[in-house]
Amino acid sequence: MGANDTDIDSAEVTNRGTVILDESDPRTVIECLPSTVFPVMIRFSLGKSTNGDRTHEELHTPDYPVDVRIPQGAYIPESTVYFDNPAERPPRNATAWRPNEFIESLSELLTKIDSSPYVDTDRLQFTDLCVAEIAPRYTTNDPDTGATVATPELYKDQADITLGYFRREGSLAATQIRDSLDTAMPGETRSPPQLLQVTEATAKPARSSRETQQPAGRHKYFTEGEAERIDQLDATPANWMLDRVAPATSDHRSLNPVLSEIDQFFPQLSETDLLEFIRLRGRTESSERFYANEVLSR
């Protein structure tokens, strides 16, 4: 075995629960969210199709060991879009989109490139999503746009904001699993996004003082450091994470035992057809890797 080889030990488990998001198209996901659930961020791509790729006129075999291929169709690289929402501001220089504007603009873009025979818009899918749910009493309609927005009372009352983080990852990639889920059509390699983390946060009062000199931070809720500084420890965010994705040093609560009670975290989102709790049977794999840092002999 080499100096950096890995030993893998497999163990059977009886079952495990998970919460999946039953949709792949980013537009449909955003459109189906209840009015009390706001998109915070979504990451998606439109995969590059290899249909119609042509071989470079000069750079090809047998003059060269390999052929150089030139793609013919447009594609969307993995991209992150941020939204106007009650929980977080977008990073600097990033635009905060309204959900309806995002859906309309992305649909227009896809229509323009879909005329190419080398573009397959069915390949559009998201990989990461963050949403924030608040209580219905803290929502209202914007008089100018008609969009649902949070009321000032959300921050004045230091009310609850619950964030959910979904990601598409490989634990549901087995063919027999995909074929059993409505989110995966036969022959597809995609697996449905899973809920990996829930954060229960406390909205913080808006900084409206004229004497405030520093720019507002990204978070519209108390972070752990902010709660400590004002000695308001009950405002410290509570992080729930799946054990298999949580860092070893992370101070979190295990999300695994409470996945079947996800409606306690997201009462409105749970009433939609987007979320589904399923039970799985499979195995866990643990690995041990050796990292060399000194040569003892040659």
Overall average pLDDT of the 18-37 stretch? 92
Across 181-274, the runs of DSSP E, i.e. the strands, are 194-202, 238-241, 253-254
pLDDT of residue 3: 46
Residue 294 placed within a domain: no
Q: Which residue has the tokens 């979320």?
A: 275
Overall average pLDDT of the 238-255 stretch? 82
What is the number of domains present in the chain? 1
Q: Which of 116, 123, 115, 113 is nearest to 45 (CA)?
A: 123
- Using pLDDT thresholds of 50, 70 and 90, give the confidence band for residue 186: very low
Domain that holds residue 185: 6-49+71-209+216-287
| Residue 202 bridge partners (DSSP) | 160
Cα 193 to Cα 278: distance, rounded to the nearest angstrom:
13
Residue 60 placed within a domain: no
Residues in the chain: 298
Overall average pLDDT of the 271-276 stretch? 91
| Residue 81 bridge partners (DSSP) | 42
- Using pLDDT thresholds of 50, 70 and 90, give the confidence band for residue 100: very high
Q: Give the pairing type, strands 96-97 and 76-83.
A: parallel
Percent of the chain at pLDDT above 90?
52
Q: Give the pairing type, strands 238-241 and 124-133.
A: unpaired
Cα 247 to Cα 251: distance, rounded to the nearest angstrom:
9
Residue 16 placed within a domain: yes
Residue 298 placed within a domain: no
Task: Judge contact between 68 and 60, C-beta under 8 A.
Answer: yes
Taking the mean position of all CA atoms in its chain, how far away is CA 175?
A: 23
Which one is predicted more confidently, 43 or 176? 43
pLDDT score of 115 more than 70 = yes
Residue 44 placed within a domain: yes
Overall average pLDDT of the 251-277 stretch? 91
Task: Judge contact between 131 and 86, C-beta under 8 A.
Answer: no
pLDDT score of 110 more than 60 = yes
pLDDT of residue 267: 96
Q: What is the CB-side half-sphere exposure of residue 19 using CA atoms within 13 A?
A: 25
- Using pLDDT thresholds of 50, 70 and 90, give the confidence band for residue 177: low
Overall average pLDDT of the 114-143 stretch? 91
Residue 66 placed within a domain: no
Q: Give the pairing type, strands 275-289 and 54-55.
A: unpaired
Residue 296 placed within a domain: no
Cα 298 to Cα 289: distance, rounded to the nearest angstrom:
22
pLDDT of residue 209: 40
Percent of the chain at pLDDT above 70?
83
> 19: how many CB neighbours lie within 10 A of its CB?
24
Cα 103 to Cα 30: distance, rounded to the nearest angstrom:
8
pLDDT of residue 176: 54
Average pLDDT over all residues of the chain = 84
pLDDT score of 207 more than 80 = no
CA angle centred on 51, ends 48 and 57, rounded to 5°: 100
Helix residue spans in the chain (DSSP H)? 26-32, 99-113, 153-156, 175-178, 224-229
**Which pair of tokens denotes residue 208?**
């409206």
pLDDT score of 297 more than 80 = yes
Q: What is the CB-side half-sphere exposure of residue 216 using CA atoms within 13 A?
A: 16
pLDDT of residue 279: 82
Task: Judge contact between 52 and 73, C-beta under 8 A.
Answer: yes
pLDDT of residue 151: 95
- Using pLDDT thresholds of 50, 70 and 90, give the confidence band for residue 246: confident
pLDDT score of 2 more than 60 = no
Q: Which tens digits make up the pLDDT trace of 67-94?
A: 998 888 888 999 999 999 999 999 989 9
pLDDT of residue 88: 95
**Nearest-10 Cα torsion for 175, 180, 185, 191:** -60
Residue 297 placed within a domain: no
